[in-house]
Structure 1
Amino acid sequence: MSYSVDFKNVSTVGLESSPVAEALAGLRANEARYFMNKYKHEFTVVPASESQDTLEYVNRILKEERDIEFAAKPLETSAFQVENIRFSYVFYEDGLALNVMYTVDDP
């Protein structure tokens, strides 16, 4: 079930298992505010258990291009395109928030 992030009333919905849920919720809300202000895009997240395609995409990019792998448990993801930029986000239980972004018109 997707969740539209409210940056005015910050909530820990979906992040409750994190020991730093409040800080992670604030970080997520900040991303939502940025995308609303810059692109008029509503930032929506999906539980990681329902977004394997996004997780696989981010993990593949990190492994192939940076030789990075995370042991942290992913809680939520977000994947969307605004203008010519593809964004993918993963919010992890330990407080890590990661984004991968690429322009779609510049290989």
Structure 2
Amino acid sequence: MTYTVDFVNVSTVGLESSPVADALAGLRANEARYYKNKYDHTFTTESVDDDPTTLAYITRVLKDERDIVIASRPLEVSSFEVAGIRMAYVFYESGLSINVMYELADGGKRAVGFKLSDGMDVPEELGAFKFARQKSKLAGTIRGSYFVIKNEY
């Protein structure tokens, strides 16, 4: 079932099993607000069971690019195209959010972004990355990192 993320009335719908559900919901709402303000795009998510293709895509990019396998259970995914950019998200039970940004134009920007919810530890599989801090009214302190995608997907 598709869930339209509300960044005014933040809800933990779909994220209830996470030990940091409130912070993860705030992180998801923060992403929704960004896309609404920048692109007038309504951010929606689906359960992994309803959209296994998006999870497989993100899992493949992580494995092929950096040999990263995320240990946490995926809860929700989102996939959309806006302004010539293909975006794919996965939200994990641990509080981790991963997105793949892939500009469709030749030579466009392409990267994988990691965001950690307030209150979660850095997962062992991401220990090699340095995380910058960002304050958010919706999500508290978000820690984020990224790497550039080298291959074509």
TM-score scaled by length of structure 1: 0.98
Specify every segment of 5 or more residues in structure 1 that has no aligned partner in the other structure, as ranges. none
What is the match of residue 8 of structure 1?
8
Specify every segment of 5 or more residues in structure 2 that has no aligned partner in the other structure, as ranges. 108-153
* Identical positions, percent: 63
Could you list the per-position Cα deviations for residues 78-107 of structure 1 after superposition, in whole angstroms to 9, with x for gaps in the alignment?
000001110000000010001011101125
TM-score scaled by length of structure 2: 0.69
**The structure with more radius of gyration:** 2
Report 1:49-60 matches (<5 A).
49-60=49-60
What is the match of residue 30 of structure 1?
30
Report 1:66-77 matches (<5 A).
66-77=66-77
Q: Whose strand fraction is larger, Structure 1's or Structure 2's?
A: 2
Q: Whose helix fraction is larger, Structure 1's or Structure 2's?
A: 1
Could you list the per-position Cα deviations for residues 17-70 of structure 1 after superposition, in whole angstroms to 9, with x for gaps in the alignment?
111000000000000000000000000000011111001000000100121110
Structure 1 stretches of 4+ with a deviation exceeding 3 A read: none
Report 1:24-103 matches (<5 A).
24-103=24-103
Aligned partners of 2:12 and 2:102: how far apart in 1?
A: 28
Tell me how many residue pairs correspond in the alignment: 107
